[in-house]
């Protein structure tokens, strides 16, 4: 649907312009957290690497972000099935 596509493109633009990095001094949930939650919700089973690619974060940044979401109870981890 057009609205979903617009929202997705808007989030991508925010990431690419670096706006997501502007709120690092804030306490509590950040724009980065919100984007991660949206992507996790839209892609069940997403890996940390995939999330990092979507959010334009390094592997270590994505891992730290996911760990914060897990610690706060917002996200859970499922072991991958090979």
pLDDT, tens only, 21-51? 545 554 666 778 888 988 998 898 899 999 9
Whether the pLDDT of residue 4 is over 80: the answer is yes
Which residues touch 77 (CB under 8 Å, ≥6 apart)? 66, 70
Nearest in space to 45 (alpha carbons), one of 10, 77, 82, 6:
77
Task: Kindly indicate the confidence band of residue 79, based on its pLDDT and cuts at 50, 70 and 90.
Answer: confident
Which residues touch 11 (CB under 8 Å, ≥6 apart)? 35, 38
Phi, psi of 44 (to 5 degrees): -55, 135
Kindly state the percentage of the chain with pLDDT values over 90.
22
Q: Which residue has the higher pLDDT, 16 or 37?
A: 37
């Amino acid at each position: 649907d057009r609205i979903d596509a617009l929202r997705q493109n808007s989030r991508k633009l925010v990431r690419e312009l670096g706006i997501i990095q502007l709120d690092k001094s804030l306490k509590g949930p950040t724009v980065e957290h919100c984007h991660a939650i949206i992507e996790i919700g839209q892609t069940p089973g997403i890996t940390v690497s995939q999330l990092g690619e979507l959010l334009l974060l390094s592997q270590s940044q994505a891992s730290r972000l996911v760990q914060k979401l897990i610690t706060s109870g917002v996200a859970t981890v499922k072991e991958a099935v090979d």
